[in-house]
Amino acid sequence: MKACRKLTHAAIVLACVGMIVPRAAMAAGTPKAAVADVALATDGRLVGQVVSAEGRSVDGAVVTVRRGGQELVQAVTDKSGQFAVAGLDAGVYEVAVGQQVAAMRVWSADAAPPAARDRAVLVSGTTVRAQGEFLGLDVITLWTVGAATGALVFSAINNSDIDDINDKLSKLQSP
């Protein structure tokens, strides 16, 4: 009976830990970013624009195009944030501006799928992802941790009370 109780307590603790630990921490590797489909211009250039997180054009940003970790070409944006890169074949590239990197599947103009964009758009600068954090955790995660901790305490108290009742019943039943 005691082994069953310990097993129950262990299961409760594991369930609470499973709710607390983010799925990303348990996953192998890092999540992959979505790949954007972009069509080359009819003259074979990759054209695009770099904007700030607020949506303003970024002048003088260095755009780097890489494939397989190897830098192929760089371009600098003009006053309106526009850039153009020539000499690319169809394929998957990493297009970076500063620390922001986007994966792009580049298509020739005549082979691009209907959903492909006619220009690449890159966002430069820091994007604030979670506001109102406490100890590096957002509000939803904090609430989940609090609820899981409360559930753990409640289940431990409940199990203790049930054990006490079972012990009293056992004493009453034995001669």
* pLDDT tens track for 29-77: 444 557 889 999 988 899 999 998 888 999 999 999 999 889 999 999 9
Structural domains of the chain sorted by starting position, each given as residue range(s) with its CATH number in brackets = 35-124 (2.60.40.10)
Summarised one tens digit per residue, pLDDT across range 68-97 is 889 999 999 999 999 999 988 899 999 999
The CA-atom distances, in angstroms, between 112 and each of 35, 42, 95, 143, 152 are 14, 11, 18, 45, 54
Checking DSSP bridges between strand 46-52 and strand 120-124, what pairing results, if any? parallel
Residue 7: its pLDDT value, please?
A: 62
Residue 150: its pLDDT value, please?
A: 74
What strand order describes the sheet that includes 46-52?
Answer: 82-85, 46-52, 120-124
Residue 147: its pLDDT value, please?
A: 74
What's the chain's average pLDDT?
78
Asked whether the whole model's pTM tops 0.75, one would answer: no
Residue 159: its pLDDT value, please?
A: 74
Rounded to an integer, the average pLDDT of 132-139 is 56
Cα(55)–Cα(98) distance, integer angstroms: 16
Share of the chain above pLDDT 90, in %: 33
Q: Work out the pLDDT band at 130, boundaries 50, 70, 90.
A: very low
CA 105 to chain centre: 20
Better-scored residue on pLDDT, 165 or 4: 165
